[in-house]
Amino acid sequence: MSEQGDSQRAPQPGADSPNDDAGPSETAARAIAARDADERPLGVSLLVWLYWFWAGAITLVLLGFAIGEGPVPMSGETIPRAEALSRVLPVLVPMGLAVLGAALALSLRRAWARPAVLLPVALAAFGPALSGVASGIGDMVLGALALLPILAALVWYLYFRSGVTAYFARLKAEEEAGPGA
């Protein structure tokens, strides 16, 4: 056993201590970064990456339609690019904006991110039917039925999973407290 008591041990290298070379703001920044890294649930972190990927994919699709050449195969038929763009824009633009908003809300840790996450999935499920892009009633029903389990799983995860609801409750309390708190 060493001669020094537990309270008199020398600090370990790299450990935060009051006698560090780091100033108070740097130590506070490290503490906040450590808290933030531990605070966000893994599923929410995965949703952040998924929604940024989804936003990039929608952007690439829109760019492909805008700067491509020739006819476009759509719903089993080849149609002129201008007509394809007029069919796709009413669905992809609102969905792209909703995905971008959800990605930003999740990244910036906003309490209103939960409904923002659900909106793009709902638009993906019902958007083609509402905008008339789907070629038939069967396509509309199958598209909605395929995405409804995903929507239900997201609702369960975001609104009923205890760790996630506590995370969003903490975000809401921080937003209500204001930026200086």
Q: Per the structure, how many domains does the chain have?
A: 1
Which residue range(s) make up the domain with 124? 42-177
Q: Which residues, including other chains, have CB under 8 Å from residue 165's CB and lie 6 or more apart?
A: 158, 159
Express each pLDDT in 21-60 by its tens digit. Answer: 556 677 766 656 555 545 899 999 999 999 999 999 999 9
Please, what is the angle between helix 137-160 and helix 113-131, to 10°? Answer: 170
Q: Does a structural domain hold residue 15?
A: no
How far is the C-alpha of 147 from the C-alpha of 127, rounded, in Å? 12
DSSP-derived letter for residue 1 is -
The reported pTM is 0.71
- Please write the tens of the pLDDT for every residue from 76-135: 788 888 888 888 888 889 999 999 999 999 999 999 999 999 999 988 888 777 666 666
Please indicate, yes or no, if residue 32 is contained in any of the structural domains.
no
Residue 21: inside a domain: no
